[in-house]
Amino acid sequence: MSAPVVPPNQYDVNMDNPLQGSPWADIESHPGVFTELASQIGIKGVEIAEIFSLDAEYLKAFEPIYGLIFLFEWHAEDTEQSKIAADIKSIPEKIFFINQVVPDACATQALLSIALNSATIELDSSLVEFKQFCLELSPAMRGLALSGFQRLRVSHNSFARQTDISTLYYPVPQKRKYKKAVTKKPPQSVKGNLARVPVSISTDTSQKSSTGTTLKSRKAQQRKNMTSKTCDSNLEKSQTTCNDKSAQPKYHFIGYVPIDDAVWELDGLKRMPKKLGNIPKNGDSWISIAISIIQKRMNSYSVEFNLLALIEDRVQMYEKKKRLISTARECILKCEASEASPTSDFAVFLKEAELSVEDYAVLKSKLNVSTALEILDKSDRAIDCRIKEEAEKRQEYKDENIRRRFNYAPFIRKWFEIMIRNGSLASHIK
């Protein structure tokens, strides 16, 4: 009797596919990358926006903000200090904290840390099952479970450059020759010379960087292109390529998120989450606490950093406003049919719609049907323009992600070969 045919799981590892048969790759710190990544891994109704100012009025335009993702230059003392002493003795039950146990996964992990700790964000069933599965595990074991979550890794790696994918396969065991230090005797024929000090070749590969990112240039001058980069622990530290990487600054993603009545810093390289403070009861947003901490980091470290905000999907938010205006228009028409006037609560009802300060003041002072309908139509047209802008932005993100994945190296190589053959290369070199 033949064995039953088992259909392959869609998330099974396929070593022939470089997107699936590779470890976690480095990805670019770009809102288009994170927005599409969030959608692919099952975080619904959100988008990621890049923050260029820490001004409170500027940040109000992005509300509601579910969490912040901060990319900064990582220093070893940040992690070492957390090993010595933690701010809390145990992790509160309501905080889902994950340790980072694999390199280059900090981008997706920071995104998940916010989504899995938010009571507002809707999650895909696979993420809900993952959280339920990991509830009884330690933070380190949760990190190990995340590293084996094939769907997340495939989605994460799909945003890597194709030129990097070929180097990301699981390391193949290779035979290595370990040389021992040999003490040479001083030559007898040379007088007055001392014996040479023997050179010891180090074969220690136990030291390993658990995170880091390489800073890359970006087309937009306002934006820093940060990508996760580490030095492979399987390579000997004596190799030149590894030494070059270790000499570069390392960057790391961490998340800031409000949980219950407090603001927390979730850093996978630290043993515990860090409580930054209680949310103000005077009406101020939780953002004010996180921004003060981020500002200190900016002042203490280098100027190379990047700040992203996990916010409500703008298209989804604008569609809610359009439904609100549609409901208000129906109420106005009913008032017109019954020859009644809108009440003073009508302006308050439309406060969440896309109304200017002037239009809102007019609605509060002149509650008549014709004026209200005119303002509603004006607001409706403004929202349509916003939705169109968002659609254009999403298409731009999509095009950039396609270009980001595409490998231009074969085309450029072929182009140079053609120019060399026809002798036109020299004319293009200044």
Give catalytic residue positions: 106, 252
Distances (CA, A) of 221 to 210, 218, 398: 30, 7, 20
Distance, in Å, from the CA atom of 66 to the CA atom of 40, rounded to the nearest integer, reads 18
Output the CA torsion sign for 382, 387, 389, 390.
positive
* 180 Cβ contact partners less than 8 Å away, ≥ 6 residues apart: none
Given a contact cutoff of 8 angstroms between Cβ atoms, the answer to whether 127 and 76 are in contact is no
Nearest to 60 by CA among 71, 49, 69, 44: 49
The helix (run of H) or strand (run of E) holding residue 49 is strand 46-50
First to last CA, the chain: 73
Sole residue written with tokens 């590892």: 13
Nearest CA among 273, 320, 325 for reference residue 110: 273
* 310 strand-pairing partners: 48, 67
Rounded Cα–Cα distance for residues 316 and 63 (Å): 13
31, 28, 63, 27: which is closest to 308 by C-alpha?
31
Spatial distance between the Cα atoms of 362 and 323, rounded to a whole number of angstroms? 21
- Please report, for residues 23, 169, 196, 216, the alpha-carbon distance to residue 172 in angstroms, rounded to integers and kept in the order given: 13, 8, 37, 28
The answer to whether 91 and 272 are in contact (CB under 8 A) is yes
Tokens found for residue 332: 């106005």
Secondary structure (H, E, C), 195-217: CCCCCCCCCCCCCCCCCCEEEEC
Q: Rounded CA gap, 167 and 135, in Å?
A: 34
Quote the DSSP letter at residue 9: P
Burial status of residue 367 (CB atoms within 10 A of its CB: 0-12, 13-18, 19 or more) = middle
